[in-house]
Amino acid sequence: MDTDEIATRLVGAHMLLVSFCGILINFYMFYFFLKLQKTSFYVLCSSKTISNSIILFAYLLYVGPINFFYSGFGSAVLSSYINQAMGYGIYLQGPITQLMITVNRFLVVWISAAKTTSDSTKVTVVALAFSWVFATWFSTLLGLPDNCRVPVDLEHVGYTSSECSVQVIDYLFLAVFLLGVFTNVLNVSIAIKLYLISKSSNLLSSRASKTRNKNRVYLFLQSCFQDWIAVLVILNNILASMYCRSHVCTNLITMGLDVVVYALDGFIMYLFNCKFKPK
């Protein structure tokens, strides 16, 4: 075995282990959120665990074995559908849901929970439904030529691209960038409001109010950490493209961290919500 094969098999083993652990934590958090009050925030978090789990299953059952056994499985068509879903359609569902979570935190902090809870859950469910419909279409690209789907980009199983698939990649990067900018603008405005609330609550505030403000900060930090790990993936992809001397190196580093993010996302949700007791 040469160096590329050894590195690929090791990263494949890493993918299998991390994806399995990630599925367990995301499944646990999905059932945990089902037992909590059905607020917009927890509905969105439940959706996030589903998209995380779908991608982790793709790593566990397809991408991980391809790397670990250093051999392709199935046809090129299967490869294109799986990669289009995990790397594009369901992948984009994550930042969209994260934006919805941030919007929810923005409304709660700037408007107040009392004014946003009456119909917000229904609106959230409808918005999520539309986002999942779009994610499903973007996972299959129904109505577009077959060569628009992007197959798994691994040299030892072969890789092909077309003008259409390159455009799909460009649209994905643009969408993720715009979602990230808007989400972080909202995060800054939330941080400013929380600071103003903390200044005023120190002067005059009941114990219940202080507890409520503390929970707002807690859930805001969860949203920020989930945003930051997504930024970490983008930076990792850029640095890998800049400094890796081979295509194999770029793919292994980007995919190796990518699988960790979906497991880490579930762990962050556990870390910030385990103190809340299901009703």
Domains of the chain: 3-273 (1.20.1070.10)
How confident is the model over 180-202, as pLDDT tens digits? 888 888 888 888 888 787 776 65
Short-list 29, 129, 181, 22, CA closest to 86 = 22
How confident is the model over 33-66, as pLDDT tens digits? 998 888 888 899 999 999 999 999 999 999 999 9
Instruction: Check whether 20 has a pLDDT greater than 60.
Output: yes
Q: Dihedral of CA 147/169/235/136: which sign?
A: negative
DSSP state of 229: H
Q: Dihedral of CA 139/145/148/151: which sign?
A: positive
pLDDT for res 234: 78
- Show the tokens assigned to 2: 């040469």
The single residue listed with the structure tokens 């109010």 is 209
Confidence class for position 133, pLDDT limits 50, 70, 90: very high
Reduced to 3 states (helix: H, G, I; strand: E, B; else coil), residue 202 is coil
- 158 beta partners: 154
For 154, phi and psi rounded to 5 degrees?
-130, 125
CA distance 37 to 46: 12
- The mean pLDDT value for 230-246 works out to 82
Ranking 69-73, 110-114, 122-126 by mean pLDDT, the lowest is 110-114
| Winning range, highest mean pLDDT, from 15-19, 92-96, 227-231 | 15-19
